Structure 1
Amino acid sequence: MTIRGTIRRVTRWAVIVLAVLLALGVIAAAALRIEFAGSPAAWARTTGHDALWMGHAWVDGRKTAADVDALALRLRQSGIRDVYVHSGPFEADGTLRADKYPGAADFLKWWKEKLPGVRVSAWLGQVVGDGSGGTLNLADPATRARVVAGAKALADLGFDGVHYDFEPVSDGDQSFLDVLTQTRGAIGAKLLSAATQQIEPLPGMRFPLRLAIGHDKYWTPGYFRQVADLTDQVAIMTYDSWTPLPSLYGGHVVRQTKLAMGLVPENKTVLIGAPAYHDHLVALSDFAESVGSAADGVRLALTEDGPRSNLGLALYVDFAATEEDWKEYETTWVRPE
């Protein structure tokens, strides 16, 4: 075959592949738009099982009792039952230095005086990798042991639980499951929760996206269920979806919520991440994603699949949330208009 013939053949196949990808994209977009159709039922709203991710300033000494007072005024009128307060990150060898959270004891004292009904978990994590470049190698038993020891230290300090957020965790990663199992043994009956990857929307979607971006964006339903079985709560990071329109993002949330409700046992809590921030990895997502669209998506999923008391929104994140974000949480989820 001549060089010219080879070029024509490669070009033809490239056009075919692009056409197939475009067609699949159109089909996926149409499916998401259909998911977001209809009106949510009036009863589909918060049941008081929501959560809020909170920044590091609460435990490093920058926040005061007055800051807790101010936040308490907002949260008492909300459906938020759990907060995840950033208290790390771990060092590359899994160590959690105590100087990461010098103000934690004072914060816990103030919090429990003002909001005794809202549980406080230590939000802990690190970038996961092979141990190089500051990444955390969870495959190393000694590293895992230090991670668990750090989590136990915060539980012993007075936190109500531990909330892990390791990224990116690959689908099927046994090391992460081992961390969860060992942490349960270390903290006993205290709350154990995890921020999770999104669930593979349709079979076969995980692998090509992994090839394109170099890590898993999705977990298969089977692995997601394994993580849920080892925790009390799973909080799906249902943002940075790369959807270009609010209606498509809403459909994505509907799909994630339905999948999660079908995978997580009724005695455990499912939290759907709502983007209360405005610096997405993909700029178009700032337009497409919002707290309101996330709330509408969850309400539509509940309307179709039926009530579930232990399902809520998890707002990410307190220091980036605007008054508009809080208003959307109030008017589309807590007290829908």
Structure 2
Amino acid sequence: MKWFLTRLLAGAAAVAVVLVGIGVLLAAQYSGKPAAWAVSQGTDAVWVDSADDADALRALLDTGAVDTVYLFAGKIDAEGGVSATDDLRPLVEGYPDVRALAWLRHATEGSSLLETRFDREARERLAPSVAGAAEGYAGVHLEIRPVRVNDPSVPELMDLVHEELPEDAVLSVLAHHVELAPGGRIPSFVMNGEEKYWSKGYLARVARHADEVVLPGTDPGMPADAMDGGFTVRQVTESVAALRTRDDMTIRFGVPSGEQAATVLAGIRLGMTEAEAPEQMRLGVSLSDPADLPLYTAGWLG
């Protein structure tokens, strides 16, 4: 028993040392000065789930920097059905240069190393339902979480949805955070019981048929601002590296609401400076709350 406890404590100490080392490296990445060009390129977006956001949304759209709005349009169930919600498209009337995407969400708790998120019947039922829900929109934005790395059902679903949508429709997907180092997602999976991170390879696999990818901006799980900032820098550089061959891709980085937004925006700018994205790749942000206009203006519009 004493031997076991000794080994257990030694293992815990080793993990603690690794975590401290990661923290130091992340904090170090959140340093330096971003390039002057690392600001809005006019390809930003915002999530909107309620008509209550109408006034704040108009003020945000008046900046001219937001070209895409994800309007919550329905929930996806495990069997592949879509439950539609109130039509929010009137919120973007009067803004002809702004695209409205139907935001469809499937969010649950827990994920398995063996089970897929959607079985074959659910995928085949869901693809035409997604296309139907996106009628009248410029395309669709899929939020499906959590999804384990190497789950084949989500890339296959993206393929089916791509085939169902009109040729000029936009297909956008909300990804998971990219693991900071190969295999780094495994400790998180063990501790949390669900997938929080994707490998770069799986991100590229899911995005194969997507036009746009959004990285989450919430819950980085870091205990200090400098680590939050460094984590964000890594999200930018790793996602650009994963999708570098897709030089026509749009990648957006989610921005949380509240005080943390300033840190994340600064990290995105530093990440853009470091990432050296292909010339045709478009990088932007996606706001979680339209009311964060002051932070967006100060930290991103340049």
Look up the SS of the partner of 2:134 in the other structure: helix
Task: Identify the residue that residue 146 of structure 1 maps to in structure 2.
Answer: 125
Alignment of 1:107-256 (within 5 A): 107-109=88-90, 111=92, 113-127=93-107, 138-156=117-135, 158-189=136-167, 190-256=169-235
1:47 aligns with 2:41: yes
Look up the SS of the partner of 1:270 in the other structure: strand
Look up the SS of the partner of 2:300 in the other structure: helix
1: CA distance, partners of 2:109 / 2:153:
12
How many Å apart are 1:80 and its aligned residue?
Answer: 1.2
1:315 aligns with 2:295: no
Deviations 1:198-254 (A, max 9, x none): 111111211122111111111111001112222001101132011011111000000
Q: Normalising by the residue count of structure 1, what TM-score does the alignment of the two structures yield?
A: 0.81
Task: Identify the residue that residue 3 of structure 1 maps to in structure 2.
Answer: none
* Structure 2 gap ranges (5+): none
2: CA distance, partners of 1:110 / 1:273:
21
Question: Is the 8 Å Cα contact of residues 51 and 313 (structure 1) preserved in structure 2?
Answer: yes
Look up the SS of the partner of 1:204 in the other structure: coil
Deviations 1:103-154 (A, max 9, x none): 42xx43562x4111111111112135899xxxx9743222122322221112
Task: Identify the residue that residue 265 of structure 2 maps to in structure 1.
Answer: 295
Look up the SS of the partner of 2:194 in the other structure: coil
Identical positions, percent: 28
Alignment of 1:251-262 (within 5 A): 251-262=230-241
1: CA distance, partners of 2:116 / 2:151:
12
AA aligned to 1:85 is: L
Aligned length: 294
Distance 1:25 1:143, change over 3 A: same
* Structure 1 gap ranges (5+): 1-5, 278-288
Q: Normalising by the residue count of structure 2, what TM-score does the alignment of the two structures yield?
A: 0.90
How many Å apart are 1:51 and its aligned residue?
Answer: 1.0
Larger radius of gyration between Structure 1 and Structure 2: 1
Question: Is the 8 Å Cα contact of residues 54 and 83 (structure 1) preserved in structure 2?
Answer: yes
Task: Identify the residue that residue 329 of structure 1 maps to in structure 2.
Answer: 296
Alignment counterpart, residue 16 of structure 1, candidates 10, 13, 17:
10
AA aligned to 2:201 is: G
1:27 aligns with 2:5: no
2: CA distance, partners of 1:167 / 1:77:
31
2: CA distance, partners of 1:53 / 1:78:
16
How many Å apart are 1:326 and its aligned residue?
Answer: 2.1
Distance 1:137 1:217, change over 3 A: closer
AA aligned to 1:179 is: L
Alignment counterpart, residue 275 of structure 1, candidates 256, 260, 266:
256
Q: Say which is worse superposed, 232-241 or 140-149, in terms of deviation.
A: 140-149
How many Å apart are 1:291 and its aligned residue?
Answer: 1.4
How many Å apart are 1:180 and its aligned residue?
Answer: 0.5
Alignment of 1:60-99 (within 5 A): 68=54, 71-97=57-83
